């Protein structure tokens, strides 16, 4: 991050949150699941946990941020995300977006669904925030 490659970086600067677009913070893009595998919130939790635990295990991670629709920002609250800017307008698009952020430790803790995952979340979350 911090290279100006992502359109979200410009939106963060405009909203006074440019510090999120720095090394150690990661932009979340899209989570795409084949409709045949969309079986409910447990599967979404598992996918988020697996993705973020891999990220935290391989890279220095502090925070995650993203742009999304208001509906998706409500969904991401279950993973520890909070809205840092609402009613963000993107040139050429009529609908508003939200900018959201969460600590990697919060995402890990919120998405862990089993005792083993909670143990991994505590280990990786502590490493992520201490690094």
Residue 63 near residue 82, CB atoms below 8 Å? no
- Protein fold of 7-130: Aminopeptidase (3.40.630)
Q: CB under 8 Å to 5, separation ≥6 — which residues?
A: none
pLDDT of residue 5: 44
**Domain residue limits, the chain:** 7-130
pLDDT of residue 58: 93
Please give the DSSP secondary-structure letter assigned to residue 88.
E
**Secondary structure of residue 60 in the 3-state scheme:** coil
Q: Render each residue's pLDDT in the chain as its tens digit; 131 residues.
A: 444 446 666 666 666 666 666 677 888 876 667 777 777 778 888 989 999 999 999 998 899 988 888 998 998 999 999 998 888 877 777 888 888 999 999 999 999 999 999 999 999 987 655 54
């Amino acid at each position: 991050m911090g290279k100006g490659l992502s359109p979200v970086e410009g939106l963060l600067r405009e909203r006074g949150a440019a510090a999120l677009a720095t090394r150690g913070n990661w932009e979340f893009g899209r989570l795409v699941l084949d409709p045949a595998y969309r079986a409910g919130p447990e599967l979404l939790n598992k996918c988020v946990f697996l993705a973020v635990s891999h990220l935290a295990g391989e890279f220095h991670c502090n925070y995650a941020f993203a742009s999304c629709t208001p509906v998706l920002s409500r969904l991401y609250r279950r993973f520890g995300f909070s809205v840092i800017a609402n009613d963000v307008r993107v040139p050429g698009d009529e609908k508003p977006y939200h900018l959201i952020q969460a600590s990697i430790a919060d995402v890990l803790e919120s998405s862990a669904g089993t005792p083993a995952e909670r143990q991994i979340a505590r280990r990786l979350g502590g490493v992520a925030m201490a690094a």
